Chain A
């Protein structure tokens, strides 16, 4: 490898020897193409015409009235596929095409990354396999069906807890046997180098746009940026635009699950400890010997026991703050945004909104908060229906 892929001591590429050549090939291709004029032009056109960028920055007036300060939503939920995931899959998919790869594989939790990969597989005419845990397949069946409609094969992953972690395990295993023609389109800003760097790069558009929109629409920068954190791609995407603006607070909201005390959660940065999983050194949820814990969250996309290495560094340096929102608060926030704005947020993104509800009375009325509304909630309607049945 040309670079070490470290964020402080975090990150790196802790993978079996068989994966090193293919990661080297990926690193080399990324640095060859990411600033290449033709690549940039093609990606920019697709982002605009296929994905629907730029996404709007929307002032959520009635939601703001509820919490008592000004809330702006970065509407990644309006992108094609219904989430920020398409930014990354377009970028990596195009990279795969430039590299001459003909097959895509991806892991998925909530199904958003799987769907965004399946779309790109269809767009570029590449054979696509999506690895998904059996529990996630059950709770995100709509997305599973959509992936199949786009022509992707969805592979059941039964190992472990049948969630995102296990899907990554199996995708990595498959990849080790098919490194020559297959591109592993990794979904979050975690995993082995160069993925954290690549995924962040393709998600920085969120932060760049949001910063510019703040300056244009508000005439100033916001006081706070809030984003949910599972692996951390949407958060690092929006944080990156404001990282040098020291007065802008950056808040990452993890999945508090049932509660932090119950142990049934996925609040890796909030309560985890440092270790090595899925190719990177990062905060993990693990026992004393280093066995990885099962996680639990109402949102499949945050149900993951590790986190991107750059977030680990941002936590340690204090540049970003990480908190957790519990399932019940998240479901309340889901309801509140739906009722007050007519916008159904993804349960993942609803974690960020739940944090805002908790800030009621703690921020001044003129303070401005930008929330990365990373995805839309259509996929979650049946879960919400089960957990919060409608009165009539």
Chain B
């Protein structure tokens, strides 16, 4: 199984930035979702960020909330999510980070969750509503399952806290480029360059940037600013939403957009 370390090192050697698309597993349904993710891999995704839908996704904006609802309506659950990940890994060995809300992990049993999903092919589990203060609830189980850790840093995270987060991260740092929930934005925050710089002084783990990246120019700017990876969620989830009645067009649009971003970084 390919590690984050391998992928980011390879890219660094080629002077490239990782393309990391985000999808909700099972959006809009299991089979289409598999096709979408395969399309993203073909379009050059270096790492995948995948979410398992939750009823109350407080860190997500309307686009991803709607994706969660679509996926849940089509019957997505944890058992199917495991099957989904195995299918993706059978297609191509691309590292997968899960983006979760804590209650789903907690109810499944944290250790069992990490073990089962690692076996299926997951490299890390980022718990959106678990901050570094309570990270000990997951760090031990993650390490024994063989998972890397991924934590978030935002533009309002203080320096001491940033140091703490960096010290507990083994996979990559998920840097939130602006305040607020997930969602496409017209303009990117200009604080991102400073933020990446600060993180680079603190840690050698890759620094990836997400939230609000909706154009190839955004991705290029983030890559220019020194990011090791660009995470794109709402924009491509929006392409799913806007093309629900034409699956082929949906796949083509996603492929084209990710191709453009890939070229820009």
Residues in A with CB closer than 8 Å to B132 are 17
Closest beta carbon of chain A to B141's beta carbon, Å: 16
Q: Which residue of chain B has its CB nearest to the CB of A14?
A: B129
Contact A177 B158 (CB under 8 A): no
Contact A173 B58 (CB under 8 A): yes
In angstroms, Cα B154 to Cα A275, docked, is 26
In angstroms, Cα B180 to Cα A18, docked, is 8
Contact B104 A290 (CB under 8 A): yes
Q: Which residue of chain B has its CB nearest to the CB of A294?
A: B55
Residues in A with CB closer than 8 Å to B151 are 17
Taking A177-B180, A278-B58, A284-B103 as contacts, is the C-beta distance between A15 and B129 under 8 angstroms?
A: yes
Interface centre among B55, B106, B130, B176 (most CB of A within 10 A): B55
Identify which of residues 88-146 in chain B touch chain A, using a CB-to-CB cut-off of 8 Å. Answer: 102-104, 106-108, 128-134
Taking A289-B104, A291-B72 as contacts, is the C-beta distance between A14 and B56 under 8 angstroms?
A: no
Asked if B170 is at the interface of the complex by the 8 Å CB criterion, the answer is no
Residues in B with CB closer than 8 Å to A243 are none
Taking A14-B102, A160-B56 as contacts, is the C-beta distance between A179 and B129 under 8 angstroms?
A: no
Asked if A21 is at the interface of the complex by the 8 Å CB criterion, the answer is yes
Asked if B3 is at the interface of the complex by the 8 Å CB criterion, the answer is no
Closest beta carbon of chain A to B79's beta carbon, Å: 9
Q: Which residue of chain A has its CB nearest to the CB of B132?
A: A17
Contact A16 B59 (CB under 8 A): yes
Taking A172-B58, A176-B59, A176-B179 as contacts, is the C-beta distance between A21 and B156 under 8 angstroms?
A: yes
Closest beta carbon of chain B to A241's beta carbon, Å: 32
In angstroms, Cα B241 to Cα A137, docked, is 28
In angstroms, Cα B100 to Cα A299, docked, is 32
Contact B106 A21 (CB under 8 A): no
Asked if A224 is at the interface of the complex by the 8 Å CB criterion, the answer is no
Closest beta carbon of chain A to B156's beta carbon, Å: 5
B46-69 interface code vs A (CB 8 A; 1 in, 0 out): 000000001111111110010000
Closest beta carbon of chain B to A81's beta carbon, Å: 28
In angstroms, Cα B154 to Cα A22, docked, is 12
Residues in A with CB closer than 8 Å to B107 are 275, 286, 288-290
Asked if A379 is at the interface of the complex by the 8 Å CB criterion, the answer is no
Q: Which residue of chain A has its CB nearest to the CB of B77?
A: A289
Asked if A248 is at the interface of the complex by the 8 Å CB criterion, the answer is no
Identify which of residues 141-161 in chain A touch chain B, using a CB-to-CB cut-off of 8 Å. Answer: 159-160
Contact B134 A176 (CB under 8 A): no
Q: Which residue of chain A has its CB nearest to the CB of B211?
A: A18
Interface centre among A14, A17, A160 (most CB of B within 10 A): A17
Contact B133 A20 (CB under 8 A): yes
Taking A173-B58, A291-B72 as contacts, is the C-beta distance between A275 and B179 under 8 angstroms?
A: no
Contact B129 A20 (CB under 8 A): no
Contact B106 A18 (CB under 8 A): no
Asked if B153 is at the interface of the complex by the 8 Å CB criterion, the answer is yes
Contact A160 B131 (CB under 8 A): no
Asked if A169 is at the interface of the complex by the 8 Å CB criterion, the answer is yes
In angstroms, Cα B102 to Cα A325, docked, is 31
A91-125 interface code vs B (CB 8 A; 1 in, 0 out): 00000000000000000000000000000000000
Asked if A277 is at the interface of the complex by the 8 Å CB criterion, the answer is yes
In angstroms, Cα B179 to Cα A16, docked, is 11
Residues in B with CB closer than 8 Å to A1 are 133
Taking A17-B153, A17-B157, A289-B77 as contacts, is the C-beta distance between A160 and B181 under 8 angstroms?
A: no
Closest beta carbon of chain B to A293's beta carbon, Å: 8
Residues in A with CB closer than 8 Å to B181 are 173, 176-177
A280-292 interface code vs B (CB 8 A; 1 in, 0 out): 0000101011111
Where the two chains meet, the residues of B that have a C-beta atom closer than 8 Å to any C-beta of A are 54-62, 65, 72, 77-78, 102-104, 106-108, 128-134, 151-154, 156-158, 161, 165, 176, 179-181
17 sample A-B contacts, Cβ–Cβ < 8 Å, listed by A number: A14-B134, A16-B152, A17-B154, A17-B157, A18-B180, A20-B131, A20-B161, A169-B57, A169-B58, A177-B180, A179-B179, A275-B103, A278-B58, A286-B103, A290-B54, A290-B107, A291-B55
**4 closest pairs, A vs B, by CB?**
A177-B180, A290-B107, A290-B103, A17-B152
Known contacts A1-B133, A20-B161, A286-B103, then 8 further A-B pairs from the complex at CB < 8 Å, ordered by chain A residue: A12-B134, A16-B128, A159-B62, A165-B56, A173-B61, A177-B180, A278-B58, A290-B54
Where the two chains meet, the residues of A that have a C-beta atom closer than 8 Å to any C-beta of B are 1, 12-18, 20-22, 159-160, 165, 169, 172-173, 176-180, 275-279, 284, 286, 288-292
